[in-house]
Amino acid sequence: NLPKEGIISCSSPSNIALIKYWGKRPVQLPENASISFTLDACKTTTSLKYVLQDLISEDFNFTLLFEGEPKPEFRPKIKKFFERIEKYVPFLKKYTFTIETSNTFPHSSGIASSASGMSALAFCVMQLEQMIHPEMTNEECLQKASFLARLGSGSACRSIEGPMTVWGKHQEITGSSDAFAVKFPYPIHQHFENYQDTILLIDKGEKQVSSTVGHDLMHGHPFASKRFEQATENITKLKEVLTSGDLDAFIQIVESEALTLHAMMMTSLPYFILMKPNTLSVIEKIWAYRKKAGSKICFTLDAGANVHVLYPNSEKEQVLEFITSELVAYCQNGQYICDKVGWGAKIL
Ligand code: PMV
């Protein structure tokens, strides 16, 4: 009783880690637990057209279109993803697929599309799985979608649900697992409702270091074990802060995590500096504004030069004024994206 043919369309957002995942073991298992805000505006939309074949093929049968164009360079990643997940969704080779995908954010904006892209595809595959196994509960589907997304790109598992998710087994987070992300399972203080993330596109160039290479550099890194311990402690602290609403403590943890991620890259062999001069100028401006305006604005960084400016919804108007008058000048072509916390993957 396999469905014969049809189209499934889903969207899934990117996410921004507050406690960073940097360092993994096979296969795609994190060295420490991480926690992120699920985003809203930065997302991938994917449609999966499936046609049941008469014979099971030897290899995966799929055509790939990115923003309407064939993208042969994305094929190996998708193929590897299918190879990894086949064990868990054994119907893949019975179908011919056409995968059409597009992002809301500009291509090569320095915003990683792997989290939104892989989670959107995993979510589509799970819709097909649910047609085959209608007895699966929604909760089971969400969990398995996160599990599959993880096998595509580690941090992608944190995009399936929102507004905050935790990935990685942690003693103090009930239900947490290395295999999939879970929704942050405690009440979140209202200060964090609708939390804003304005992403400043400082440098839109190709990534200097792929995250695969980056994670690998943590093997044999002189500070690795201390870093994994610190991340674990920071999750405990952040859990407390998210329930108490202590924004000063939030700022301290989040900024320290961002700088530590970059410190790990600066102290690996080979070493990398992924910030640009404008990244540092923006950080200094944020610190000065915070002091002057008594604001709760802070920053975080990915493995690149762009800056995520985080702030409570209550400060939106003033902070946007500050960003447009003082920070946009440091962005490449003046580009930035207004985003905020969101709710994860959706069927369209
Ligand atoms: O999911 P990956 O393998 O692309 O790794 C992402 C790592 C960071 O974005 C730098 C941190 C994180 O936790 O998202």
Tens digit of pLDDT for each residue in 25-47?
A: 999 999 999 999 999 999 999 99
Question: CB of 315 within 8 A of CB of 296?
Answer: yes
Pocket test for ligand 1, best of 39, 155, 228 (most atoms within 8 A of CB): 155
| pLDDT tens track for 279-302 | 999 999 999 999 999 999 999 999
* Helix or strand holding residue 180 (H, E): none
Q: Give the pLDDT band of residue 56 (cuts 50, 70, 90).
A: confident
Question: What ranges make up the beta strands (E) of the chain?
Answer: 5-19, 24-25, 29-30, 34-52, 61-66, 69-70, 95-103, 164-167, 181-183, 196-200, 298-301, 307-311, 336-340, 346-347
Q: Please give the average per-residue pLDDT across 164-178, as a whole number.
A: 98
Q: Give the per-residue pLDDT at 209.
A: 87
Ligand 1 atom closest to residue 21's alpha carbon, by position in its atom list: 13
CA distance 267 to 252: 22
Burial class of residue 158, CB neighbours in 10 A (0-12, 13-18, 19+): buried
Q: Give the pLDDT band of residue 171 (cuts 50, 70, 90).
A: very high
CA distance 89 to 81: 12
Question: Distance from the CA of 248 to the center of ligand 1, in angstroms?
Answer: 25
Q: What percent of the chain has pLDDT over 70?
A: 100
pLDDT at residue 107 greater than cutoff 80: no
- The CATH homologous superfamily to which domain 190-340 belongs is GHMP kinase, C-terminal domain (3.30.70.890)
Question: Distance from the CA of 155 to the center of ligand 1, in angstroms?
Answer: 5
- Residue closest via CA to ligand 1's atom 6 equals 155
Question: CB of 304 within 8 A of CB of 207?
Answer: yes
Q: Please give the average per-residue pLDDT across 54-58, as a whole number.
A: 89
Q: Which residues contact 342 (CB under 8 A, 6 or more apart)?
A: 13, 38, 39, 40, 41, 43, 162, 163
Question: Distance from the CA of 116 to the center of ligand 1, in angstroms?
Answer: 12
Question: CB of 127 within 8 A of CB of 9?
Answer: no
Ligand 1 atom closest to residue 115's alpha carbon, by position in its atom list: 1
Length of the chain in terms of residues written? 348
Is the pTM for the entire model greater than 0.90? yes
Domain boundaries for CATH 3.30.230.10 within the chain? 5-188
Pocket test for ligand 1, best of 111, 116, 118, 211 (most atoms within 8 A of CB): 211
Q: State the residue for tokens 């994190």.
A: 30
Q: Give the pLDDT band of residue 169 (cuts 50, 70, 90).
A: very high
pLDDT at residue 106 greater than cutoff 90: no
Strand, coil or helix: what is 266? helix
- Give this complex's ipTM: 0.99
Q: What is the mean pLDDT of the chain?
A: 96
| pLDDT tens track for 8-28 | 999 999 999 999 999 999 999
Question: Distance from the CA of 121 to the center of ligand 1, in angstroms?
Answer: 18
Q: Please give the average per-residue pLDDT across 68-82, as a whole number.
A: 94
Would you give the DSSP letter of residue 303? S
| pLDDT tens track for 152-162 | 999 999 999 99
pLDDT at residue 98 greater than cutoff 80: yes
Q: Give the pLDDT band of residue 184 (cuts 50, 70, 90).
A: very high
Question: Distance from the CA of 56 to the center of ligand 1, in angstroms?
Answer: 35
Q: Give the per-residue pLDDT at 202.
A: 95
Domain boundaries for CATH 3.30.70.890 within the chain? 190-340
Q: Give the per-residue pLDDT at 108.
A: 67
Q: Give the per-residue pLDDT at 78.
A: 97
Q: State the residue for tokens 């102290």.
A: 267
Residue range 5-188, CATH number = 3.30.230.10
Residues with CB under 6 A from ligand 1: 17, 20-22, 34, 112, 114, 153-155, 211, 215, 261, 302-303
